[in-house]
C-alpha cells in the first residue's frame, strides 16, 4: 500500500500535478500522474480517477500507479466511479483496486466476475482475494 501524505492542505506542487492531468498533451498528463505517484497525496485521488479512462494507455497506467501509492484514501473514489466508467476505465479501476488490496473492493470484484469482459474477469478473478475473500500478504 502507498503512504500518501495524510489529509490537510496539499502541497502546491500537488495542485500543479493535478492541473497537468487535464492538459491537452498526453505526455503532460502522463507526467502529471507519474509525479503524483512520486509525491502521493490524498487530495489527488479524485482527480486521478478520470485519468483511468484516458485514451492514452500510458496516462491510465500511470494513474493506476499513482492511486496505488495514495493508498486507502483512493478506494472510495474508485468504487464510486466504477458504475459510470467507460469499459477501459473500468479495467483500470479494477487494476487499481487489485493493487490496493482493500477489503472494501471485494464485493465489486466478485460482481465484476459476472460482467461480459474478459479483461474485467481476469482483473477480478486473477485476484485471489476476489475468489476467496481473503487478502494474502
pLDDT in tens, 6-35: 545 556 689 999 999 999 999 999 999 999
Question: Cell 485521488 appears where?
Answer: 45
Asked whether residue 129 carries a pLDDT value surpassing 60, the answer given is no
CA gap 28, 22 in Å, rounded: 9
Domain ranges of the chain: 12-132
Structure confidence by residue, pLDDT tens digits, 51-96:
999 999 999 999 999 999 999 999 999 999 999 999 999 999 999 9
CATH level 3 topology of 12-132: 1.25.10
Single pTM value for the model: 0.78
Contacts of 55 (CB under 8 A, 6+ apart): 26
pLDDT at 112: 77
Angle between helices 75-82 and 87-100 (to 10 degrees): 150
Amino acid at each position: 500500500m502507498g503512504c500518501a501524505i495524510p489529509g490537510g492542505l496539499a502541497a502546491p506542487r500537488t495542485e500543479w500535478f493535478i492541473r497537468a492531468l487535464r492538459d491537452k498533451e498526453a505526455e503532460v498528463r502522463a507526467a502529471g500522474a507519474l509525479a503524483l505517484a512520486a509525491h502521493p497525496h490524498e487530495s489527488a485521488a479524485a482527480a486521478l480517477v478520470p485519468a483511468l479512462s484516458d485514451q492514452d494507455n500510458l496516462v491510465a497506467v500511470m494513474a493506476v500507479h499513482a492511486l496505488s501509492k495514495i493508498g486507502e484514501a483512493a478506494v472510495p473514489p474508485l468504487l464510486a466511479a466504477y458504475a459510470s466508467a467507460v469499459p477501459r476505465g473500468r479495467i483500470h479501476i479494477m487494476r487499481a483496486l487489485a493493487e490496493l488490496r482493500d477489503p472494501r473492493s471485494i464485493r465489486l470484484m466478485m460482481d465484476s466476475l459476472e460482467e461480459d469482459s474478459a479483461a474485467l474477469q481476469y482483473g477480478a478473478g486473477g485476484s485471489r482475494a476476489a475468489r476467496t475473500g481473503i487478502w494474502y500478504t
